[in-house]
Amino acid sequence: MLDFTGQVAIVTGSARGLGFGIARKLGELGARVALVDLDAAQGEKAAEELCGLGREVVFVPCNIAEEPDVESMTRQVVGRWGRIDVLVNNAAIVGVTGNIWELPIDVMDRVYRVNLRGMVLCCQKVIPYMLKQDYGRIVNVASVAGKEGNPKQAPYSASKAAVMGFTKSLGRELAKTKITANVLSPGLMQTDILKQMSPEDIKYMMSKIPMGRMGTVEEMADLAAWIASRECSFSTAAVFDASGGRASY
């Protein structure tokens, strides 16, 4: 069984959905977890739920697209627990769906700021602490959309492709250290992000899954925990798919 006792993890976008599932799994395995999210009310509720299960967690409100927020969040976690062993960059938005020639450019800007810029900022602020302690695991959550491109979701698909490209570069930059950087690339899941999609979009994506079903948060959280573990020691700059067979490359 994986053991995160004594480790500290940051999980962004963890007030609900996949991020909450990953935080819950890491806490179950012994990690102290910082729940990071823009939604303060839901974040506090999520932290209260995990505390009720006996987990050692703290909620830190943060807009990951803003550098001062990320700097403050990182310092708060280190100030509380003295280290950061695991960073899971999960926070993301789909944005407005539609043909790219019909979307205002600020849709792309908003998606980019959260899905890519926010992830990069978190890595920039956390990695120095990991280098100092000579250990770390970074898990950047992308999407099968970053490999295949979902129609009417160009901003989202492009940002998730960028997450993969960034992580491959980062993993190679850190390859001589004891820090790994990998990608978790989920397929369609039953989470609140579906509320940002039209029924037509969901039907299209379901039709692409050979297993004929959505993935569960628990399945994704189990894989994320393994990628974030000490046991995952010879994989870096890699993309781990969990798409029910949709992505096989």
The pLDDT of residue 232:
98
The pLDDT of residue 172:
98
The CATH number of 8-241, from 3.40.50.720, 3.30.465.10, 2.60.40.150, 1.10.150.240, is 3.40.50.720
Is the distance from CB of 36 to CB of 62 less than 8 angstroms? yes
Which one-letter DSSP state was computed for residue 16? S
Please name which of 205, 192, 203, 199 lies closest in space to residue 247, comparing C-alpha atoms: 205
The pLDDT of residue 1:
84
The pLDDT of residue 197:
73
Higher pLDDT, 33 or 206: 33
Please name which of 23, 22, 124 lies closest in space to residue 69, comparing C-alpha atoms: 124
The pLDDT of residue 248:
72
The Cα 164–Cα 162 span in angstroms is 5
Chain centroid, CA 90 distance in Å? 2
Name the average pLDDT for the chain: 95
**Residue 38 confidence (pLDDT) above 80:** yes
Higher pLDDT, 169 or 189: 169
Query: What is the three-state SS of 73-100?
Result: HHHHHHHHHCCCCEEEECCCCCCCCCCH
**Residue 45 confidence (pLDDT) above 90:** yes
The Cα 132–Cα 41 span in angstroms is 34
State in Å, rounded, how far the first CA of the chain is from the last one: 29
Return the SS3 of 158: helix
The pLDDT of residue 198:
79
Domain ranges of the chain: 8-241
The pLDDT of residue 203:
86
Give 233: exposed, middle or buried? Use CB within 10 Å, 0-12, 13-18, 19+: exposed
The pLDDT of residue 88:
99
Hey, which bits of the chain come out as E strands? Answer: 8-12, 32-37, 57-61, 86-89, 136-141, 179-186, 239-242
Please list the active-site residues.
156
